[in-house]
Structure 1
Amino acid sequence: MLLLGKSRSERLAVAIGAVFLLWAVLWQQSAFGGEPSVKPVEPGVAAKVDDQIITLEELEKVLAPQLAKLQEQRFQLMETKLEELIEERLLALEAKRRGITVEDLLKAEVTSKAPEVSDAEVATFMTQNRARLQGDDAELRPKVRDYLRNQKAQAGRHAYLASLQQRAKVEWFLEEPDPIRVPVSAEGAFAQGPKDAPVTIVEFSDFQCPFCSRVVGTLKEVVRLYPKQVRLAYRDFPIAGLHPKAAKAAEAARCAGEQGKFWEYHDRLFESQAQATPADFKRFAEQLKLNDKSFAACLDGGKHAAAVQADVEEGTRLGITGTPTFFINGRLVVGALPLEMFQKIIDRELRRQPK
């Protein structure tokens, strides 16, 4: 459209006419099969199939175990990175105060003060880790010495940073989000601790799993440290593909539980994981002075096979893929974690309790 040579009023009239023409075209497209108008999405709706609605709440409930893992991983990443950034800032501030570079600061306070690695330390490390080390001793010694030297330097760095934190004003404002909780029942499970404990730990475990065996002592310490605050419930999740005898071991523990000796038998199974035949299970019952005939009838008759399988099905529904897996007040925790991690989570749960 050429508007040159026309007056200002004429150009304005032409422009207004063009706008009305464009509006008319768009209205006709909408009224006679043009682009469809977008309907507003109802709050909380993820999808609709005909008249059937799938809500976001429904979707999140189905994915709760996976979402809980992702949320935990996200927070751990943020917590770790924040600690690194704080350390970097502390080093930079101290270097600036001294008028030197961070590299020179670390050389002066960490590298130069790292103790030497003795021949005895190298020899001790090689003896203790012989099964994992490959190569002859002449090749290994300098590598082991470098490794131990780095370990000592890292320990010195951590100690120095701790001293800087004590002198500086460091405040953390990163808060852990309220965890996604998965409703898990402890009803019918063998348990230790008061029923009204503010923290319930539901463990899904496998009597033939080596990682499950490692955490037994840790859980005993948890129960000892929190006698009134924690209830520990045991549920079965034998992984048949890896441990074909684990399901029968779980049945045997339940048979022992009928005679009031579940936890004693539980400990015996984890102490003797290599011994997992029906004969071994009956021998353990004899050692614990159980009624032999009742125990044998229970085990040989598969009395608790269905109950063990029900636990497996429940664990599968909850998204469990490995053992040990814990639900601490519904909060998903996976693996043979150290005592400090259990304490950290339990203490957080206790702080959340109403005063």
Structure 2
Amino acid sequence: MAPQTSFPALLESLTQALSSASESTEKLSAPIPPKDGISLLDVKNELFLSYLQNLVFLILLKLRNRKSSSSDDEEEAEALDEHVVNKLVELQVYLEKGVRPLENRLKYQIDKVLRAAEDSKRIEDASKPKMNGKLSRDDDSSEEEGSEDGDAELDNGAALDQIDDQQHMPNPTAFTRVAVGADDRESARDGVYKPPRIQATAMPTTTGPREKTDKKANKSATLEEFVNTELSAAPFAEPSIGTTTIAGGRRRKSEKQLNDEAERKEYEEKNYVRLPKESKKERAKHKGGKDAGYGGEEWRGLGEGIDRIERLTKRKDGEGRNVLEKSRKRSNEDGPKGSGGGVEVGQGFQKRLKALDGGRRDRGKK
């Protein structure tokens, strides 16, 4: 069934809505607006009512413009329509940007007040005596019932006072953790380790971080460079000649150093700031980690082998000299090699120089 869009149907629906609203307001026992209400809700109702009034006024203007045919009336109607539309937009902004955020902030307090009102109403309904079919009762029973009603009213008043005191207080149980029950504790004593659910814990390991790093295979920069330059079909950029040589041409900058310099230069150009130079400690650290000039990283295994030999032949505490130290520190009993005898080269000259010095000292004493 299609909705009725004729003017009499719209007027009839509007009159029905107004009559139902007037009947509902007459049934309300509380004053309008309430004495101790929330002003935000009153403002919200006023905005909604004003929005509906302007909307109805705009509908009436649209219906009136259909009947008029003169140009002056059309211009005046368009100006009036624009004014009403601007008013509707203004009210919509008030509702969306003003009332809704404030209502979200006050939602917790409003829910507390409504919950307290529902609890008080529930207590009042529970305290009322249930009506039975028999109306004839003895005087003693009526007196006992009156005393019970008095006690119930006292309890009801105390409960209402407690609700009024706690209706704006936050719920402290929401900030406490749920206690572990006895059944859960007994089930956890089966001897099987169960990690906590809040934060996962890693089991302790016997290997340290240094051992983990030693297990990693060392990458060959020479092999990677060969693969990237010779075996790859993708184009690559080559730096200018002479820009990658350092230490007087004895070494070349690695790809990592070139990338670091490019990143440093890009950062300085983007942020218009000059980064500080490397300190002495950083330069010494980088220098210690560099490979030798001759052979590069391909001769890295030689140093590791020498360190291993020295570690194996090192003298322990309380022991004498080992064979390697004895061979290195052996005394020259046979004289210097290549001299052809036991006389060291220049020994006669040293004797003559010593004699001349002694004669000069004796001349001054005479």
* Shared fold per TM-score greater than 0.5: no
The interval holding the TM-score normalised by the smaller chain is under 0.3
Q: Which has the higher contact order (CA 8 A, sep 6+)?
A: 1
Q: Which has the higher helix share?
A: 2
TM-score (norm 1): 0.13
Structure (1 or 2) with the larger CA radius of gyration: 2
Please, what TM-score do these two structures have when normalized by structure 2?
0.13
